[in-house]
Amino acid sequence: MTTTAERIADQIRARIRSGELAVGEPVPSTRRIVADHGVAMATASRVLEALRRDGLVEVRRGVGTVVAAGAASAGGAANAPTVDDVVRLAMATADAEGLGGLSVRRIATDLGIPTMSLYRYVRGREELLTRMLDTVYAESPLPDPLPDGWRARAETCARTLWGAFQLHPWAAHVMSMTRPQVVPHGLAHTEAMLGAFDGIPGRPLDIDTRMHLAVSVFQLVRGLGVSIEPAVLARRDDGLTDEEWMDRTLPDLKAAADRRKFPHLAVATATEVDLTLDSLFEFGLARLLDGYAAFLGDQKGLPHVR
């Protein structure tokens, strides 16, 4: 799975390969990386270390970290960007700024090539987004072998996708449930979910039913996943954690929740409720699969304690 440091390093590699950062020119310092990407100093240090291992940068006394003289021979500025360079840079941009900061023109500019040249790599923004989504799936493979039992397999598929959406907060917005994109690395996820509901003792299911069961799980994950990017961007914009924001907002909410009109809401605002995207995911997934167990007539699929 690609780490944050590796994604930022990919973005700088693309700038070196495109010639935007020429031999001898400084690359972003650790402080610059921290400021631009909102990461810890240790992560920024790992970015520069990865570039040094690749032979793309070197440290010069009194100057700092610059593009190394051997960068071209190491696959640097002398080479035109590849499709993977384009996709990786687009993903790094979306990770840092959200989908709103992503455009074909922006990626071409960051690569140091004319906008029209980018269409040699992708036909447009939609194809770029599809390739990005496929890469997200490629970075989040399912375990092999998958666990036994329909419920364990469904949980594994759901949690793997949830983890991918947390790593790339924009990905849930790209994933379409009504016009699903052809993403080769995502086929394994769909196949695993369909297989989870095949061969259940005493309850043979046709493919129509299994498809509805599978897609409903994906929809739960995707539906919650679209809230991840706005939450991440909001925290970056105002510097508040979700808990800090709620602490500021709660007095106004309590004042608005008149106990005579909203008695249940008044109790909720007066009680410390641990409600997060993660808790909603876990609760929603558990209750959905509880319903599946009842539908399938599988008492073993119901948890003993929940």
**264 vs 152, higher pLDDT:** 152
Tell whether 110 and 20 lie within a shared domain: yes
- pLDDT value of residue 81: 80
pLDDT band at 305 (very low <50, low <70, confident <90, very high): very low
Tell whether 151 and 101 lie within a shared domain: no
Are the beta carbons of 226 and 169 closer than 8 angstroms? no
Assess whether pLDDT exceeds 50 at residue 292. yes
Structural domain contains residue 13? yes
pLDDT tens for 160-182 read 999 999 999 999 999 998 898 99
Q: State the CATH number of the domain containing residue 111.
A: 1.10.10.10
Tell whether 111 and 223 lie within a shared domain: no
pLDDT tens for 110-157 read 887 788 888 888 988 999 999 999 999 999 999 999 999 999 999 999
Contacts for 262 with CB less than 8 Å, ≥ 6 apart = none
Structural domain contains residue 128? no
Q: Using CA atoms, how far apart are residues 226 and 168, in angstroms rounded to an integer?
A: 11
Are the beta carbons of 32 and 21 closer than 8 angstroms? no
Tell whether 14 and 113 lie within a shared domain: yes
Per the structure block, which two tokens stand in for 11? 């973005």
Structural domain contains residue 232? no
pLDDT tens for 218-240 read 999 999 999 999 988 888 888 88
Structural domain contains residue 250? no
**153 vs 61, higher pLDDT:** 153
Q: In whole angstroms, what separates CA 143 from the centre of its chain?
A: 18
Mean pLDDT for the chain?
87
Tell whether 56 and 165 lie within a shared domain: no
Q: Which range, of 65-74, 140-149, 196-205, 221-230, averages the lowest pLDDT?
A: 65-74
Q: Using CA atoms, how far apart are residues 28 and 65, in angstroms rounded to an integer?
A: 8
Structural domain contains residue 116? yes
Structural domain contains residue 244? no
Structural domain contains residue 104? yes
Task: Identify the top-confidence range among 68-77, 199-208, 274-283.
Answer: 274-283
Range of the domain at 163: 141-227+277-301
Chosen domain end from 122, 157, 190: 122
Tell whether 62 and 100 lie within a shared domain: yes
Tell whether 8 and 94 lie within a shared domain: yes
Number of domains within the chain: 2
**Can you tell me the mean pLDDT for 50-73?**
78
**64 vs 44, higher pLDDT:** 44
Structural domain contains residue 233? no
Tell whether 51 and 174 lie within a shared domain: no
Tell whether 155 and 295 lie within a shared domain: yes
Query: Is pTM, for the whole model, over 0.75?
Result: no
Tell whether 175 and 91 lie within a shared domain: no
Q: State the CATH number of the domain containing residue 292.
A: 1.10.357.10
Tell whether 282 and 170 lie within a shared domain: yes
Tell whether 146 and 117 lie within a shared domain: no
**Can you tell me the mean pLDDT for 85-113?**
87
Assess whether pLDDT exceeds 50 at residue 65. yes
